[in-house]
Amino acid sequence: MTSHGGTAFAGEPWRPRPPLTRAGVARLVQAAGVFTILTWLLPPRRGGLEVLAEYLPMTGVLTARAATAVSGALLVYLGAGLRRGKRSAWRLAVFLASIGMVLHIAKGLDFDAAAVSGALLAMLVAVHGQFRAVTDPRSPWRALAAFAGFAGAGFTLGMLEIALRPNRLVGAPGVRLWAEHAALGLVGAPGPLRFRHALGAEAVSLTTGAFGLLAVGAATVLLLRHVRRDADERTVEQDHRLRELLRRYGTADSLGYFALRRDKLLMWAPSGKAAVPYRVINGVSLATGDPIGDQDAWSQAIDAWLADSARHGWTPAVLGCGPSGGRSYRRSGLDVVEIGDEAVVDAAGFSLEGRPMRAVRQAVARARRAGYTSEVIRQRDLPPAALAEAVRAARQFRDGPVERGFSMALSRIGDPQDGDCVLVLCRDSSARLRGVLQFVPWGDDGLSLDLMRGDRSAVNGVMELMVVSAIEAAPGLGVGRLSLNFAVLRSVFARAEGLGAGPVLRIWHRLLRLASRFWQIESLYRANAKYQPEWQSRYLCFPTARDLPRIAMAVLKAEAFLPTGWRRARRGDGGASVPSLEPLGVR
């Protein structure tokens, strides 16, 4: 199969659910972790401490008990990585099972628990071939750096605490013994120093021990972190190939042009006739829209993308695909659920006449009476000074410093490569720019709304005027259809307003209206419905319901509803790789 860069790779095929062996191992490891934590909570076996006291100091026994609790928690944490086939998670589980046998004996001669750790170790060794997902080559070094940083900080603080209490030490130990005591404290072991007061010894032990645990925990998290794939891996040559596919097959999907975002990577079919645009976010390989290219080659591109996800232990998901794409992804093993509808207006059949268009007609008339006018023009035909003015206005009208959008936003305006984009510029009676719309090409005869900005101090009706102007100018531009915004869960609002709506639908409707106070779900639906569009369903594709929370977090981060990529978002509109402003589903 062909990777994002065009080179072949081998790996196990993707499965919608992990193999039974791998899923079972993950559950057993987590169960062993819970069991390990329970052995820490239970009192030690009667007589065990007396026997251990002949061989280990009591501080060593307490250290073993504390380490047992930490290893149990880490085993529970490793379950998710094992389920995704992470090789690094398997290695760490083997290490924890190995030292678990020693710790169970050292904390109270718990031979039964040690036998459980031994059985766990044997099982992990037997199924080692199930865990092949690669690890980010930078992760071991980052884990080592984190471990060294926290351990070094704990060692330094331990030395400072000892130095602040030299008169409280028994005898006159040298600095070498100070360092030995602080180093042993990192692993919870007793050191050679003796303090006159117990409080001093406890302070040093707590400080060094806490930083030792932090070092282990931080290193574990970084070691298991997901492989990153940077947008810098996308090449100019791939952009040229993608534009050629859009020229030939771009009519199929209104979201196709958004694959030209610079933070999206491309997974190509071996034939090069189709590609899946995607981005990796927190271990989720998030694709958007339908695959680009020849529909006969979609399955090849999808299989390559899914195999790449399996190789890296990523969770594949698709946001906003259409019916054709949804059927292709479902044939490849993903589940599909409808998440909303896209509003598409037929330019030839559009009219402001009639009662259903009364609100739009009045808003447009209001803006025109106030002296507002709109110009609809291709970007390549706009003079450089006017284009620069539009870019500045779009940035100025943006609400807040963070751009929002990913699946249905281009994230730039004024780029020379986007000459086919259509801009709608609205000016007031003094020729001041008060609103900007940008439409991206949708094949040869369509436009898809991307950017929608307006001056909040402008007269009410500016947005309606710009949208209507674009629809009315469409035939002169050779455009027959315009894709407006995407309405999340539109069918719930539409069905709840009809006769016979059941109690479950009414409850769901009330919940969405409550959510609309924060995310404009209902207002967005009504803002689109007033243009009397045709509604085209959009879907979310995912492996299993278990993965939905992780996918939801990835979507929220991609759409910039959760903090991520702040420095990238601050780079501005002028061709920068930033998401768009509008709420989820708004373009």
Domains of the chain, each with CATH number or no CATH = 1-135 (1.20.120)
- What does the DSSP assignment read for 525-549? HHHHHTT-PEEEEEEEEES-GGGHH
Q: Among 393, 376, 378, which Cα is nearest to 573's?
A: 393
Question: b/e string for 43-59 if b means 16 or more Cβ within 10 A?
Answer: ebeeebbeebeeebeee
With beta carbons less than 8 A apart as the criterion, state whether 48 and 110 touch.
Answer: yes
Cα atoms in the 13 Å half-sphere on the side-chain side of 263: 24
Give, rounded to a whole angstrom, the gap between the first and last alpha carbons of the chain: 34
What is the residue-level pLDDT of the chain in tens, covering all 587 positions?
344 444 334 445 566 666 667 788 888 999 998 998 888 777 766 656 666 666 666 666 666 777 787 788 888 888 877 887 777 788 888 888 888 888 888 777 788 888 988 998 998 888 887 777 766 556 666 667 777 877 888 788 888 878 776 557 777 777 888 888 788 777 666 777 777 776 667 677 777 777 776 677 677 666 666 555 555 567 888 899 999 999 999 999 999 999 999 889 999 999 999 999 999 988 899 999 999 999 999 999 999 999 988 888 889 999 999 999 999 999 999 999 998 889 999 999 999 999 989 999 999 999 999 999 999 999 999 999 999 999 999 988 877 655 566 788 888 899 999 999 999 999 999 999 999 999 999 999 999 999 999 998 999 999 999 999 999 999 999 999 999 988 776 666 555 565 455 565 566 556 656 655 555 666 676 778 889 999 999 999 999 888 899 899 898 888 776 655 433 433 333 333 322 333 333 45
The whole-number pLDDT of residue 480 equals: 94
DSSP letter, residue 258: G
The whole-number pLDDT of residue 498 equals: 55
pTM of the full structure: 0.70
With beta carbons less than 8 A apart as the criterion, state whether 254 and 261 touch.
Answer: no
The whole-number pLDDT of residue 387 equals: 95
Distance CA 383, CA 237 (A): 29
The whole-number pLDDT of residue 250 equals: 92
Tokens matching residue 148: 């060294």
Distance CA 436, CA 450 (A): 11
